Amino acid sequence: MLRPSKHSHPDLTVMNMAYLLLARLKKTRSEEYSALLRYATRSYKGGEALFLPSLSFLFLLGLVKYHAKGDRFEYVGAT
C-alpha cells in the first residue's frame, strides 16, 4: 500500500520503508541487494514484505539504479 490509511501502522508502509532505504543509499551511495534486504529485515519485523515494493517505488521515481553485473543498487538522486 502506498497511501497509509487510518488503520495502517505508519512504520509499516511502503513509503516509510522507501524512506529508510533511500536514506541508507544516500549514505553509502551504492549497496548490494542482499545487504539492503538484510537492513530492511533488521529495521522492521516484516520488512521483507515491504522491501521489493519499496525498491520498485524508488526505481519508478528515478532515485535508484540497479546494476545487474554487481547485483547492486546505486543512489542517483533526482535528475
Asked whether residue 16 is assigned to any structural domain, the reply reads yes
60 in any annotated domain: yes
Q: Is residue 68 part of a domain?
A: yes
Checking 1-10 for CB contacts under 8 A at 24+ apart, the result is: 2/57
Q: What end-to-end distance do the CA atoms of the chain give, in Å? A: 26
Distance in angstroms (rounded) separating the CA atoms of residues 74 and 32: 9
Q: How many domains does the chain have?
A: 1
Tens-digit pLDDT profile for residues 33-56: 999 999 999 988 878 888 999 999
Report the pLDDT value the prediction gives residue 46, as an integer from 0 to 100.
78
CATH code, 32 = 1.10.10.10
**More confident site: 78 or 72:** 72
Q: Is the pLDDT of residue 2 over 80?
A: no
Asked if residue 61 belongs to a domain, the reply is yes
Residue whose C-alpha is closest to residue 65's, from 55, 75, 78: 75
C-alpha pair distances (Å), 28 with each of 16, 35, 76: 19, 11, 12
The rounded mean pLDDT for the chain is 86
Choice between 4 and 35, residue whose per-residue pLDDT is larger? 35
* Residue-number span of the structural domain to which 68 is assigned: 11-75
Report if residue 54 sits inside a domain: yes
Q: Is residue 1 part of a domain?
A: no
Single pTM value for the model: 0.84
Name the one residue in this structure whose C-alpha cell is 514484505. 49
